[in-house]
Structure 1
Amino acid sequence: MNIVVLVKQVPDSGADRNLRSDDNTTDRGSANNVINEMDEYAIEEALRIKEAHGGEVTVLTMGPDRATESIRKALSMGPDKAVHVLDDALHGSCAVTTSRVLATALGTLDADLVICGAESTDGRVQVLPHMLAERLGIAALTGARTLTVEPGADGTVLTAERQTEEGYEVVSATTPAIVSVWDTINEPRYPSFKGIMAAKKKPVQTLSLADLGVPAAEVGSAGATSVVVEHSKRPPRSGGAKVTDEGSGGVALVEYLATEKFV
């Protein structure tokens, strides 16, 4: 089975994150950038499927030069190779144009199964798997907490438990398909020293917009369908209101809660 895992490099959610003052996009240059957490679970699931059913795992990333660090980290976990979509014109791309570029890149890889994290910790829009499925004309099994892969009469059958607020739904589809996963699906492996050394020699193909046949003017900030107009820092936390009980503390507390629309 030919499996492609989508991996995104994002600013570490545990550190301070900022937007650039010139164009209101994420300031990745000053951030501590890491693999998007959910994507590590996607990598692990792809490796488990490969170990059980054979095949090859390819990492696909769209990002600037520094995304190579995350590509090598992903490869150290066990995937076979990587594709890096790299072009300065991609800066400022929205989810819609990102899906167009990634769908075009996926079209060159002939994937049976595409796996990605259910969301990225920087954007958190959760729409990319659906957009890719629509562009590629394939099924989408999103928000999976479990995934089983079995041979079927018309191809490989994927069955997922889709996590919901009330519990889960059981959905299935035949390949080719895209699956997005939550962090409840598995426990990602740690890269071994052998894996880290081997990752340095694994092939990484770089593709530009010209290679994909996507016009630069239709992506990036120029082609974005949504932009951040302005931003400001979250105000510092201030001390809370204090209700002093002088015999009518209960009434004062209820009145305060009413003004804050809690009661």
Structure 2
Amino acid sequence: MKVLVPVKRVIDYNVKVRVKADGSGVDLANVKMSMNPFDEIAVEEAIRLKEAGIATEVIAVSIGVKQSQETLRTALAMGADRAILVVAAEDVHTDIEPLSVAKILKGVIDAEEPGLVLCGKQAIDNDMNATGQMLAALLGWSQATFASKLAIEGDSATVTREVDGGLQTIKVKMPAIVSVDLRLNEPRYASLPNIMKAKKKPLDEKTPADFGVDVTPRHTVVSTAEPKTRKAGEMVGSVDELVAKLKEKGAV
């Protein structure tokens, strides 16, 4: 069984994001980029499935700018077998919309015919949490979102999901789309020998046109602004004083 893992190049989660002075978007100049953390967890789970003898091949896919090669090489260094880069933008500030990403992934899946797609539940740059669900709808496949535990048994997958009320366990038929959550696993670090080996692993380049997909954005970013700075808190000496303050401010 092939396992396909979409990965996205995003601003490293340790970096403090800055907005451009003109408010036209996020400043990416000299900013460290890395693999989306949720996607990293998906790659790790796919590799574990291969190590367990359940998966035969792990394919990493990225859609975006040419620089996404670095992200794919990271996935290859972790243990993915090969990679596919769909160059869909020239400008690093261009974010391909989820529906376009899902359509391109459908084209890749139609060509590769994997039995399972593991993806991060969301990207930390736009927090859309939509691509996995859209892809499942386009393919007509089963889907399980927010997975914190995954077990493959024959032609079905048992997934424990993190929901507002606690944990929910469901069973879905394969092939399936599974979006992963933070507590599924802890991704491994790529060793130096594996980083060197990753340079020799196959990485194919495609374009959206190869899959008949138009990536022209349907939305326009009007302006971008940083969140307002929160006002400092105020200490109170008793519950009565707290209630009085809340009444004074109209909170109760």
Report how far residue 106 of structure 1 moved. 2.5
Secondary structure of the structure 1 residue equivalent to 2:62: strand
Q: In the alignment, does 2:57 pair up with 1:68?
A: no
The alpha-carbon distance between structure 1 residues 65 and 162, as it changes in their structure 2 partners (threshold 3 A), is same
The alpha-carbon distance between structure 1 residues 143 and 5, as it changes in their structure 2 partners (threshold 3 A), is same
Equivalent runs, 1:73-112 vs 2, <5 Å: 73-88=74-89, 91-112=94-115
**Normalization by structure 2: what TM-score?**
0.88
Report how far residue 125 of structure 1 moved. 2.0
Q: Which runs of 5+ in 2 are unaligned?
A: none
Cα separation, 2, equivalents of 1:202 and 1:260? 62
1:213 is matched with 212
Cα separation, 1, equivalents of 2:250 and 2:110? 52
What are the superposed Cα offsets for residues 2-55 of structure 1, whole Å, 9 maximum, x if unpaired? Answer: 100111111122212135577845444442111111111111110111122240
CA RMSD of aligned residues (A): 2.4
The alpha-carbon distance between structure 1 residues 27 and 101, as it changes in their structure 2 partners (threshold 3 A), is farther
Equivalent runs, 1:92-241 vs 2, <5 Å: 92-151=95-154, 156-215=155-214, 219-220=215-216, 223-224=217-218, 226-241=219-234
**Normalization by structure 1: what TM-score?**
0.85
2:11 is matched with 11
What are the superposed Cα offsets for residues 103-157 of structure 1, whole Å, 9 maximum, x if unpaired? Answer: 2233222111000111111111211111000011111111111111111xxxx21
What are the superposed Cα offsets for residues 230-253 of structure 1, whole Å, 9 maximum, x if unpaired? Answer: 22223445544577x8xxx87654
Cα separation, 1, equivalents of 2:170 and 2:33? 34
Cα separation, 2, equivalents of 1:29 and 1:85? 23
Give the number of aligned pairs.
249
Amino acid across the alignment from 1:6? P
What are the superposed Cα offsets for residues 69-123 of structure 1, whole Å, 9 maximum, x if unpaired? Answer: 1111111000000001103378343222222222223322211100011111111
Q: Which runs of 5+ in 1 are unaligned?
A: none
Equivalent runs, 1:35-54 vs 2, <5 Å: 35-52=35-52, 53-54=54-55
Cα separation, 2, equivalents of 1:125 and 1:257? 35
Cα separation, 1, equivalents of 2:124 and 2:204? 26
Secondary structure of the structure 2 residue equivalent to 1:124: coil
Secondary structure of the structure 2 residue equivalent to 1:149: strand
Structure number with bigger Rg = 1
Among the aligned pairs, what percent are the same residue? 33
Amino acid across the alignment from 2:133? H
Which stretch has the larger CA shift, 88-97 or 50-59? Answer: 88-97
Secondary structure of the structure 2 residue equivalent to 1:141: strand
Secondary structure of the structure 2 residue equivalent to 1:130: helix
